[in-house]
Structure 1
Amino acid sequence: MSKPGLFQKIQDYFCRANGVYLSCLNREDGVITKAYGTENEKVFLHSIAGESRYMNLLSRLEDCAVESVIEEPLDVEYAKLYGVSVSVDGEQKLMWAALALIDEKIPDAVREKLPQGILTTTEQGVSLALEFLELLTRQLLITMKNESLANEALEKIKKSDEEIKLQCHMLEALNSVIKLLEPDDSFVSTAEKALESTVKALGLSGAFIIRQNVDGASFEVIVSSGDNRLKTIGTSEVPFFTGRQYIISSNSVRPEKFRNFMGKYAINAAVFQPMYINNNCQMYVCFYDRNESRTWEKSDISFLNDTKCVIQSVLSKKITTNSLAGSYASLEAILENTGCGIYVADILKQELLYMNSWCKVLLENTIEQNGLENHVLLDAANTKSFEEIYSVEEDKWFDVHRTDIKWVDGRQVRLVTLYDITQKKRYQQKMETQANNDFLTGLYNRMRCEQDLDRFINDAVNSNSTGALIYIDLDDFKHINDGLGHQYGDVLLKAISHSLTHVHGIENHCYRMGGDEFIVIVAGEPMSQLEHIINDIQQIFVKPWYLKGEDYYCTISGGVAFFPTDATTVEEVIRKADIALFNAKKEGKNRIVYFDGTIDGKSTKRLDLEKHMRKAAMNACEEFKVYFQPIIDVTGEDTCAGAEALVRWNSSMLGFINPADFIPLAEYLGLINPIGEHVLYEAAKHCKYWNDMGYPDYKVNVNLSVVQLLQNDVVKKIKKVIDEVKIEPCNLCLEVTESLAINDMVRMKRILSEIKSLGVVVALDDFGTGYSSLNHIREMPIDIIKIDKCFIEHLGDDDFSNAFVRMVSELANAIGVKVCVEGVETSGQYDIIKNMGIDYIQGYYFDRPMCISDFESKYI
């Protein structure tokens, strides 16, 4: 979710203005705003709606596809907990969680204990506030989406413009090269100008023309641009004089001779092109760049070929003693391969002198209609050097460049080049259409709706008239999407859009707001027929729609707001029509309701627990601390046999979090894997330290969660920890819950057997809570049974508890496993258990879970 700061500001202002406590989140980032309120307020609100209520609310909200607002029941009547899902185009984008204190329901006894300045509201107030928040958030999300689409379109247009500018630049450079065909200058002077123009156009380091001397032992540079170091070169140094063209970019792999030659003259990229005289390769024109990142593009090579053709044409012309026919033939060969339309006209004589084949293709329809002469001569007489024109005959757009040059026979002519930019123009038009129209239905979109509505409101204010906005939503459209598939839902939306545009009076004022929501604006003269227009809209939905070979009925609910009487701004008119629409839905759907000022919206909130947990997990789990609770061996004298490792989360932002609150969420989010691996490593590391410090028999118990055990590589990860820490495997005890084991007995037997094969001890935790059969216990590869503390609470007072513990002890003895009792807190419980043949005891009677420094200070 982008712009979290904006949502934080919206939340904080909204809370203060409406007396509710909010928190914002989405699926991608989790909680994206800090919970509103002081620490005293947060503590009080947490006592009313604990983490479990929030988690249950958010789970329901994510799964709810029909209602956008749900309420989570609380134990007190004076507080309300809501959840609101905000969707755009049928996809859930954002969720709010809201907790409100209803002032009129707060008992006096509670009111006296309220933190100073705590926010309160009324039942009606929270209802109005939440609906407004839902509408506000949806509009903001749509605006952000439209902004993103507009930016993307602008980037594409910008890129297209840059490409056109490059083409124009290349055409202008080509025109300057073509001018060099004028017969006055020498070959060297003309070639030098051509090279300089090309080097400048492409931003090269230089260029040169080289020929073989008569002696055959050396090569001479006869024309150069940009470098005077290249003069006479030995024959053995030149690797390219073979009659073939060589194109070498800075990152190209090159043979040794090319490496030596280019290295000597500090050239990183080059194009070597042969020049022929009487079908013999007698010269080479070489373009080079010392830039280390020069990669030759197709357009570069095409331009260089054109330059070479001009130079070779000049050379041929000089050799044939300024033969006009030879010059014209060379010029024609060049102009036929330029990649754009070119024609030359004598302006004074109104005569078309030349047109290349590409230009004939571009002006094909004009030629067929015998309009070529008028078109060309009128255009050639235009004094503008550059112009963008549209040809009706060709249905094309052109960039037209005009340059005055001397023709091969010496007369002054107009050279005109045409570049087809139709694709660019149509792309721009497409972008404009996409910016204003819905891609699926062809109706105007939300952005165009807001623009038009703003104009209609201003017109109504200035003319002292009234207009109406009808907000339409299809009833139970989701059932059609789910039942028939989205493709048939799209078919229905297109059919409805087509029918709306055929209602007299609103033909050009229908808009799709997204999903199955539409808006119709009635303004001006059609306002006198408003009731008739509304009736015509409702009649559209009286008949069934034929979809997938069957008839399906679809009704609508609608809300009507008037401008400028109900509101004078775009946002308020749409909001009030949406409020009326919501009321129509509440009244049973399939109806149109007018806004009357007595109805308003809904909203919600969620804590930022998930966001901070993700951050803590990504930060090497440093906030998750491992605490240790001693396990006492009571088979003889009561001695410490080790400890159970328990994770605690002390969040830098939220403070200390109850494990019962964050561990289920961590399992749900999949974060229990990195957290669990962190605990396993830390526990094993500390146990290895205890073993080395004189307690070789100390063991550490580590809980494996359901999510961890279901990972395919869980055994590999356990072995990796053992190998890295170098702990004796028998001093590591891994605990698995009984409920997990019996739910997938086959898989658990396999996994636990693989774990035991490492030499690790396995304990069955929470025994007695999973309703497992004695036969299952016998089959499982376990070493220890841990009796859940719920059976210890009433030990001595409850016959069942006494019998259960004694039975488990006898069962364990029979199958050869040990027993550990959890939750022992009193001396009475200890005395009873001591006489039942139990092996280990764990509980507050001996010690609570403690940080590593406290544990080692007492037991090491």
Structure 2
Amino acid sequence: MAFGKNKKTAAEQAISGVLNAQDAEIIVVRGKDCEVLFTNDAAKKRLGREYAENLSCKNGYSGHFPDLCRRCTAPEHAAGAPPFRLDTRDGDGRAYQAEGTGIQWVDEKPALMLTLRDVEEERKVQQRLYDLAYTDQLTGVANRQRFREDFDAVAKDIVAGNLCGIVAIFDLDNFKNINDTYGHNTGDVMLRRLTEHLKSVPEYKDHLYRLGGDEFVFFFTEPMANCANELDARSRYVQLFKNAFLSYTMPNIEVACTISMGIALFPQYGENSSELLRKADIALYKAKAAGKNQLVFFEDKYDTAKKFKDLYINIQPILTAHGTTYGYELVDRGNEGKGEEDILNLADFDRTMDALNPSELNGNEKYFVSYTNHLTSGAVLNNLPKDKFVVQLRLGERPPASTELLKFKRLRGYGYSLAADGLNRQNMTPDLMELVEFCKFDPRTDALFRKKTIAQYPNKRFVALDVDSDAQFEDAKGQGFKLFQGFFFNQPVVVKKTKEIDPLKANYLRLLKLTSTDDYVNFQEIS
């Protein structure tokens, strides 16, 4: 070896000192026979007598790492070539990571420096962290997070029409009786008996996940060509799950458990995990209602959940006379003529105001929302930035009753601003006007009343509604309105800065995000 000489060069001594200080085994080799040019102290310790015999790496060092020569690229490696990395194990089965780097040795000729680092303990820690993140600790099967990531890994292929398959939810029948009668420890044992059996079935390997409690998921994909005939696909999955439909019992337990299962086929009934889980859950409840111990495939007729009203929902900006955005109102524009033209409450979404994330509400804009009881709930009051929201009071033909005025005062006390919507000669009272900060008018009705009211309350902010043209905008502005709502901002003469339209899109997506979720939720558990 180069360092076996009686006299080392200064360069050799310096390199030797550096490499001996490394917390790894390092050897430097060259040529097709992998002649060893240098071995650091850690590698010498492993080689022992073999080091003294001046053996090549192939005949000596690789004997401690059986697959090292087969996977090492030393003969072809030259100085400056990209490094390579591989995992290997020594003769005792301990994990090492080998890294090869092409270098120019002290004799100014190319060589390969091979570094082997013991990663056994590191890999054990990594595996433990992986198990904590992706493995259910009670049953040892993959957990909900692993399901979501496995689904996401193939989501593009599902959407592209390359893959089909199923999401199936199942749970144990009579499981609650076992927990109530024999205790949760016995219930845990029953869950382990179930999963031990399912894990023993080869077809179920790497397809089983636990959502929580006694709810589990099967997730299978296959090439789209296999699903051309839906009836054949259903028959295939019925056959696949026959091994799961057993009677699960325990010694000295009188109650036996079977399983009920709901299956959602994709892409027929959805292309994302949330939708498929929801529909599989609907089918599961159908299986329960039909007598348990069976599977049911989801069909559209089973889905009676409340849907968005055709999802024609948009954020309508409220603008200043200069065309800049003052605030936004959530408007349902998909039900004209159906008697449902009212402003859409955030509570009409599947998620209520409690789901709002205050950190998403950026900027100085106001958000106009209709009154809902959720605005006074503890969760909202403790978390919602109330100064960002204007609560719209839908007024009737008559003045507000004393109980309504008390409710309005309470909202003001919580920190909300109030807007009177539908103000007229009959319902406008001094008590009401003292509470509201905004008044919304249709500029085409009762011009004298509007003009008098605007003059009488100069400190109020008046919003002109349904301003859809330049003429209507100029008319409303001439009457004294300072804020405007409608579609006139699409007219280039009004909106000279096109960037002002961008917040409309941004906040539309933001509010949809705030009031919906991709997370799976059992809708039976939502109050």
Fold conserved between structures, TM > 0.5: no
- Larger radius of gyration between Structure 1 and Structure 2: 1
Band of TM-score, shorter chain: 0.3 to 0.5
TM-score, with structure 2 as normaliser: 0.42
- Greater helix share, structure number: 1
